[in-house]
Chain A
């Protein structure tokens, strides 16, 4: 087939979509704004729920992109689209018969929740920082090698109208449980407390992981949202919450506070939604044509979506959508 498909974003979703298209004989080009393929997965250490290292997932897919000779344009940010063209930030215009938007999500900026003191206190870090530290093999800033207590706060920048993030980011509960286990394995003598509003374990094996964290690793789960964090004179972080299951306020000081930052809508979504037929939800994510039967389609025949551009998803779900979008593209190009 003599048709060309442009894939916006070379994360796990975009790569999978390009692979699936190429395998059925359709030419696909990946346009990626950063200097490498892989998206967020480049920054994760091990993946829930199996603790498979992220590179074990991402590398075979990168290799496959290479082996199939798929065209990849790095350092190319898409700033505008029409049903048959995309415009890059250097104002180059590229034509296409179909476009698949796989531009993913942005990490919520924890500085916006000032009350937690991110970037003010050294011992307040985000889940994203922690993944990087796991990759580097060392948790920074901890004054001593055996932290007594570590707190993990769920829902930072999710389910919070104060920062216009009304949605649940879905993956942070299980990522928080995963990181709690990893921290416990690193510091077996420390006590770890996860502060949560609801525990959402939606995927296969997630609830089991949660139970394992509780019983095998003795991780404490406290239902309540931390209201504020403050540094103490001995460089600890004092946190306050309500233990809502008891109905009393609770305070404690911890050596490290980890903020489970949510998934926010990608900042390009606004630019993409400049044309009729590409719409955003109130939370900024792109709204697919239909949540049930057209979840990878837009209202424009030639534009498709896959992965976290439409809502927070796990790696497995994102990959599946990459395959699904390829299938829809193929059907459209044949018609």
Chain B
């Protein structure tokens, strides 16, 4: 029976309980990712982002906060076309970032 009540999960990003292992590993392998200045150019140019809610900037920011759930599904929308890499002002190898996150999160679901 549904009484119309649900329990809301806390929306906090809890940096004390989040497991940062994968996040650290990714930043160790591609340190330039830490240089993101959140300009959003990668999202602006992204064809996937034009048609869905997918945002590479958000995905890798979440990774850097140790929040991984649902990200693999998000990254599966990417076509690896590389437009984001052409526009990134901090010269981040975004395609390498996408591939690495996908690889590391592969068994994280």
Asked if A211 CB lies within 8 Å of chain B CBs, one says yes
Asked if A52 CB lies within 8 Å of chain B CBs, one says no
**What is the size, in residues, of chain B's interface with A at 8 Å between Cβ atoms?**
21
Asked if A269 CB lies within 8 Å of chain B CBs, one says no
Given A250-B13, A251-B15, the answer on whether A245 and B38 have CB atoms closer than 8 Å is yes
Size category of the binding interface on chain A: 10 to 19
Is A252 within 8 A of B31, CB to CB?
A: no
Is B62 within 8 A of A250, CB to CB?
A: no
Q: Across the interface, which residues of A come within 8 angstroms of B37, CB to CB? A: 199
Q: Across the interface, which residues of A come within 8 angstroms of B13, CB to CB? A: 243, 246, 248-251
Is B16 within 8 A of A243, CB to CB?
A: no
Asked if B53 CB lies within 8 Å of chain A CBs, one says no
Could you mark each residue 212-224 of chain A with 1 if its beta carbon is under 8 Å from any beta carbon of chain B, else 0? 0011101110010
Given A243-B13, A252-B15, the answer on whether A215 and B65 have CB atoms closer than 8 Å is no
Could you mark each residue 246-281 of chain A with 1 if its beta carbon is under 8 Å from any beta carbon of chain B, else 0? 101111110000000000000000000000000000
Is A215 within 8 A of B64, CB to CB?
A: no
Q: Across the interface, which residues of A come within 8 angstroms of B58, CB to CB? A: 245-246
Complex Cα–Cα for A89 and B3 (A)? 75
User: Of residues 136 to 181 in A, which have CB atoms within 8 Å of B's CB atoms?
Assistant: 149
User: Of residues 10 to 66 in B, which have CB atoms within 8 Å of A's CB atoms?
Assistant: 11-16, 27, 31-32, 34-35, 37-38, 57-58, 61-62, 64-65
Q: Across the interface, which residues of A come within 8 angstroms of B34, CB to CB? A: 214-215, 218-220
Query: Smallest distance from the beta carbon of A232 to chain B beta carbons, Å?
Result: 10
Given A245-B57, A246-B65, the answer on whether A218 and B27 have CB atoms closer than 8 Å is yes
Is A215 within 8 A of B38, CB to CB?
A: no
Q: Across the interface, which residues of B come within 8 angstroms of A199, CB to CB? A: 37
Partner of B15, one of A214, A219, A245, A250: A250
Given A215-B32, A218-B27, A218-B31, the answer on whether A250 and B65 have CB atoms closer than 8 Å is yes
Q: Across the interface, which residues of B come within 8 angstroms of A246, CB to CB? A: 13, 58, 61-62, 65, 67
Q: Across the interface, which residues of A come within 8 angstroms of B27, CB to CB? A: 218
Closest to A252 in B: B15
Closest to A238 in B: B16
Given A243-B61, A246-B58, the answer on whether A251 and B35 have CB atoms closer than 8 Å is no
Complex Cα–Cα for A216 and B34 (A)? 9
Asked if B90 CB lies within 8 Å of chain A CBs, one says yes
Could you mark each residue 86-104 of chain A with 1 if its beta carbon is under 8 Å from any beta carbon of chain B, else 0? 0000000000000000000
Q: Across the interface, which residues of B come within 8 angstroms of A251, CB to CB? A: 12-16
Is A211 within 8 A of B65, CB to CB?
A: no
Complex Cα–Cα for A250 and B57 (A)? 18
Query: Smallest distance from the beta carbon of B43 to chain A beta carbons, Å?
Result: 11
Q: Across the interface, which residues of A come within 8 angstroms of B61, CB to CB? A: 243, 245-246
Complex Cα–Cα for A159 and B72 (A)? 39
Query: Smallest distance from the beta carbon of A246 to chain B beta carbons, Å?
Result: 6
Interchain Cβ contacts under 8 Å between A and B, 5 examples: A199-B37, A243-B13, A245-B57, A250-B12, A252-B15
Given contacts A246-B61, A253-B16, 17 further A-B contacts (CB under 8 A): A149-B15, A211-B35, A214-B35, A215-B31, A218-B27, A220-B34, A220-B64, A243-B61, A245-B38, A245-B57, A246-B13, A246-B62, A246-B67, A249-B12, A249-B13, A251-B13, A252-B16
